[in-house]
Amino acid sequence: MFKIETMKGHERMSTQDLLLAIEKAVKDGETEFEIAASGQHDIGGPLWNADGKTLHFHVTNAGQRVGSMCLPGTEIVVDESTSADVGWLNAGGLITVRGDAGDTAGHCSSGGRIYIGGRAGTRTGSLMKHDPLYEEPELWILKNVGSFSFEFMGGGRAVVCGWDSEAFDSVLGERPCVGMVGGVVYVRGPIDQLPGDVRPHALAQEDIDFLAGGMDKFLAAVGHEELAAELSDWSQWQKLVPLTQAEKKALPKPAGVAAFRRTEWVKGGIFSDVAHDDFAVHNTLSHGLYRLRVPSWDNAKYAAPCEFHCPTGIPTQRRLGLIRQGKLDEALQLELDYTPFPGSVCGSVCPNPCMDGCTRGTIDFPIQIGDLGYKSAFTPVAAPTEHTGKTVAVIGGGVAGLSAAWQLARKGHSVTVYDDAAHIGGKLEQVIPRGRLSHELLEAELKRIESVGVKFVSGCKVDRTKFAALQKENDAVIVATGGTKSRFFPWEGVEHLTMGLEYLKAINRGEKPATGKHVVVIGAGNSGMDTCRGAYEMGAETVVAVDVQKPAAFADEIAYIEGLGGKLVWPFFTNKITKEGVYANDGRFIPADQVIVSIGEEPVLDFLPDDERIQYFRKSWLVPDAQQAILPGVFTAGDTIKPGRLTDAIGSGRKAAWYADQYLRGTAEPFPEKQEIPAERLSKAYFDRCHFCDLGDPVDDHTRCVSCGTCRDCKMCLESCPEEAITRKENADGSWEYVSDPERCIGCGICAGVCPCGVWTIQPNPEKIPMYSTGQQA
């Protein structure tokens, strides 16, 4: 027996001396200890007997941490109450405190057994653990424990018997078991609210067996055997077990906001008076109404560049489309719906602005539109089958008048063309050098005009009297007398000038007008080049064309003249004309024995009545209204409005005819005009460049044509649509359309992106969604 009294009078033995003394005694083989302590700490561990014998301690008046780090084979009995940390880190000892224990009793114990015969303080049982290689630690408490008990408990079993604790709302104090992840707490009596992850359970048989098996020993140890029956009513007990990690993961989520909104929040939502919302959540992509964008198949909404840039307005893309469909005859006829001169103008003298605009020209070479026009040169047309009974007089047998006459006659009106020349045909007949325009071709096309019923009256000078008569005799009159008077400026010596228009007319009449050896032509536009050509043909040795600006004539016309030896001089501001030649305002002089002026013509309109309703520009040109009328029923077209090319005159004639026809029928349809298709709508990527040498017959250009703005029926859209929303619908007349099903379409715009023709458009969804309103008055 190692017996020690730690107080000698007023001298107290230090903890260190006591512990060293105990340790020495244990090493010396002592197993029985009677310690009369005076507050010394850590009595009882970690100690062991070399032979494995049990060490017995009986301690009075101990300090903190009795039995801390206690090993198996150590038994400690404290008769009365003790201080904090009893059995701290207990690794196997049997520690009995017959009175109360202080705070953190059993803290971190992971083995052995601790019996407390009274109450235990705050944080009792916290961080208890169980090492699976060894037995579970046990912590038995007869009464109750302080707050924050069993925090972060990881293993072992704790038993709180709750005896003599009626004064407490909770035998586990406040907020027990926070952070508890393992082990079991058996408890008898009321407890405070548990954390959400620790659940109370009724005892199972295994629990009862454990408690029943240990209770007697515990009560015997703390000297309360009489309580056995009272504490063995297992219905008064419950056990507290933390959820396993798997159980925690499987916990149902709290009902959350969604349920709160449906059951408790302002009914229908706080905006339900002004926003009509079902709170349904749409996918980022939607079909139908909720698509951000929608496609539309805008076939022929825009003019192809060829059509747009053709003053006559010929839709060549449609001609090539018909050819692509094997409808060559229809294609050739379509041309004639727009012009009576596909051979003379399109195929011969027209500069073909259509080809300048042609999209294909930006890939390799423009579609051969002029040559394609020529294909219709000798194509007959059927005479109109219906006649309106209306008569129209066309004054002027040039291209503008004949274009109007052609259109009106084909619409069933009776049309007569009056011209003061001996031959109908205007500048085509009278002015264009025969070398540029085959006379036979022209005559054939004039005959075709007659074939639809147009009457020609040539050699008929229309004066005011005649005009009044024609106005009276006819339902409508077209004034298309063109520009017939050569223009010039009041230069010094204008009396020496030869008028270019008269000069060319004389040549075409076969009169061989007087021509100098050295000729200067003032004006280097196309008519200037025609004049140069005429002068050479009439025997001139040198011809010089002058102009104030860069010559406006077509390159091949200039090249032709230069090929004959002609020269072009610019800028040249004519100042004076003498018998010897022409002076510029900078003093330059070009010798010439003839000076021909060819800077354009102005109309002669002296046959029109003095009527203030007729508007003029610079007293020369007519200013018609938007319907090209100058008086009710009197329309005008061509160079009477402004100087233009032959194709301009044909287009102008067509437009005048449109409004004259509307006038005659009493309708008011506007002349159809379209915007040019924006180039970026087209997909030129499809088209591979071809070599110039590979250009074939213009009819075969249907393979090269981009078909700008007009569906070519290639089915790229139909095949590319990721939602298979597009179908092709064939109409009874053989035409077709592509349709996108709104319920399938997501508005991606692939159809618009892949459409070679720019027919498909993708645009913001225009359909309004009636989600918001102003609300209602209370």
Residue numbers of the site for other proteins (CB under 8 A)? 148, 151, 175, 178-179, 254, 256-258, 260-261, 264-266, 268-275, 277, 279-286, 290-293, 362, 683-686, 688-689, 720, 722-723, 746-750, 752-754, 756, 762, 765, 769, 771-775, 778
In whole angstroms, how close is the CB of 744 to other proteins at the nearest point? 12
Number of continuous H segments (helices) and E segments (strands) in the chain: 20, 35
With respect to other proteins, which residue has the nearer C-beta, 273 or 737? 273
In whole angstroms, how close is the CB of 271 to other proteins at the nearest point? 4
Q: Is 144 exposed, middle or buried (0-12, 13-18, 19+ CB in 10 A)?
A: buried
With respect to other proteins, which residue has the nearer C-beta, 170 or 407? 170
Give the amino acid at 517: K
Run of H or E residues at 428? helix 426-430
With respect to other proteins, which residue has the nearer C-beta, 482 or 709? 709
Tell me the two tokens of residue 505. 């007319």
With respect to other proteins, which residue has the nearer C-beta, 204 or 771? 771
Residue (of 375, 458, 463, 363) closest to 420 by Cα position: 458
In whole angstroms, how close is the CB of 270 to other proteins at the nearest point? 4
In whole angstroms, how close is the CB of 269 to other proteins at the nearest point? 6
With respect to other proteins, which residue has the nearer C-beta, 253 or 472? 253
Residue 214: phi and psi, rounded to 5, are -105, -20
With respect to other proteins, which residue has the nearer C-beta, 435 or 764? 764
How far is residue 677's CA from residue 700's CA, in Å, rounded to a whole number? 24
With respect to other proteins, which residue has the nearer C-beta, 372 or 755? 755
DSSP 692-737: GGG---GGGGGGT---TTS-----HHHHH-TT--EEEEE-TTS-EE
Residue (of 329, 312, 342, 310) closest to 444 by Cα position: 342
In whole angstroms, how close is the CB of 197 to other proteins at the nearest point? 12
In whole angstroms, how close is the CB of 681 to other proteins at the nearest point? 11
In whole angstroms, how close is the CB of 770 to other proteins at the nearest point? 9
Give the amino acid at 367: I
Number of neighbouring beta carbons within 10 Å of residue 204: 10
In whole angstroms, how close is the CB of 282 to other proteins at the nearest point? 4
Residue (of 295, 303, 332) closest to 757 by Cα position: 303
The answer to whether residues 583 and 589 touch, using CB atoms and an 8 Å cutoff, is yes
In whole angstroms, how close is the CB of 288 to other proteins at the nearest point? 11
∠ CA 143-149-153, rounded to 5°: 120
Residue (of 666, 708, 667, 657) closest to 687 by Cα position: 708
In whole angstroms, how close is the CB of 755 to other proteins at the nearest point? 9
In whole angstroms, how close is the CB of 293 to other proteins at the nearest point? 7
With respect to other proteins, which residue has the nearer C-beta, 21 or 363? 363
Tell me the two tokens of residue 441. 């071709």
Question: Using N-to-C axis directions, what is the helix angle for 328-336 and 316-324, rounded to 10°?
Answer: 160
The answer to whether residues 441 and 401 touch, using CB atoms and an 8 Å cutoff, is no
In whole angstroms, how close is the CB of 537 to other proteins at the nearest point? 41
With respect to other proteins, which residue has the nearer C-beta, 290 or 365? 290
Residue 529: phi and psi, rounded to 5, are -65, -40
With respect to other proteins, which residue has the nearer C-beta, 591 or 753? 753
With respect to other proteins, which residue has the nearer C-beta, 46 or 742? 742
- What does the H/E/C string look like for 192-227? CCCCCCEEEECCCHHHHHHHHHHHHHHHHHHCCHHH
In whole angstroms, how close is the CB of 711 to other proteins at the nearest point? 16
With respect to other proteins, which residue has the nearer C-beta, 22 or 180? 180
How far is residue 369's CA from residue 361's CA, in Å, rounded to a whole number? 11
In whole angstroms, how close is the CB of 129 to other proteins at the nearest point? 19
With respect to other proteins, which residue has the nearer C-beta, 673 or 680? 680
With respect to other proteins, which residue has the nearer C-beta, 125 or 643? 125
In whole angstroms, how close is the CB of 499 to other proteins at the nearest point? 44
Contacts of 734 (CB under 8 A, 6+ apart): none
The answer to whether residues 507 and 435 touch, using CB atoms and an 8 Å cutoff, is no
Q: 555: number of CA atoms within 13 Å, CB side?
A: 1
DSSP 467-533: HHHHHHHSSEEEE-----EE-----BTGGGEEEHHHHHHHHHTT------SEEEEE--SHHHHHHHH
With respect to other proteins, which residue has the nearer C-beta, 254 or 587? 254
Alpha carbon 751 to chain centroid distance? 13
Tell me the two tokens of residue 31. 């197993």
How far is residue 84's CA from residue 63's CA, in Å, rounded to a whole number? 8
